[in-house]
Structure 1
Amino acid sequence: MKNYSVAPNQDASAWIVKLEDIAPADEFEAKDDAIAKAEEMAKENSPSKLSILDKEHNVTREERF
């Protein structure tokens, strides 16, 4: 199962989509845009899990595809 995440960068000026918590796959100014891209990637690579993190890097939502 692949693990995707959406989290803010260090100064919370952008949202980053990561695969397996390694190098960023994409970076977005809007959180909603980052979530949409991560959901698309997770659905294309099912089975997968998507974790949405807040500014303190706590998981606020998880979804499985």
Structure 2
Amino acid sequence: MRNYTVAPNKDATAWYVKVEDVAPTQKYDKKDKAIEAGEQLAAENKPATLTILTNAHEVADERTFK
């Protein structure tokens, strides 16, 4: 199962979608856009999970795509 993560940069001015919590694959100005992209990637690569982090890098939500 692949794990995708939506995480902010250090000062939360940009949001990244990461695959397997490695190097960022895409950068977005808005959190909502990053979540949409993460959901699309996870849905296209089922089974997968999408973990969404807060500005403080704490888990805010986790979604599973089967």
Relative to the length of structure 2, the TM-score reads: 0.96
Distance in 2 (CA, whole Å) between partners of 1:56 and 1:30 is 16
CA RMSD for the aligned pairs?
A: 0.4
Which deviations, in whole Å up to 9, do the C-alpha atoms of 1:9-59 show, x marking residues without a partner?
011110000000001010000000000000000000000000000011110
Between the aligned residues of both structures, percent identity stands at 51
Question: Pairwise mapping of residues 17-28 of structure 1 onto structure 2 (< 5 A)?
Answer: 17-28=17-28
Question: Pairwise mapping of residues 21-60 of structure 1 onto structure 2 (< 5 A)?
Answer: 21-60=21-60
How many corresponding residue pairs?
Answer: 65
Residue 6 of structure 1 pairs with residue 16 of structure 2 = no
Q: Which runs of 5+ in 1 are unaligned?
A: none
Q: Which runs of 4 or more aligned residues in structure 1 lie more than 6 Å from their structure 2 counterparts after TM superposition?
A: none
Relative to the length of structure 1, the TM-score reads: 0.98
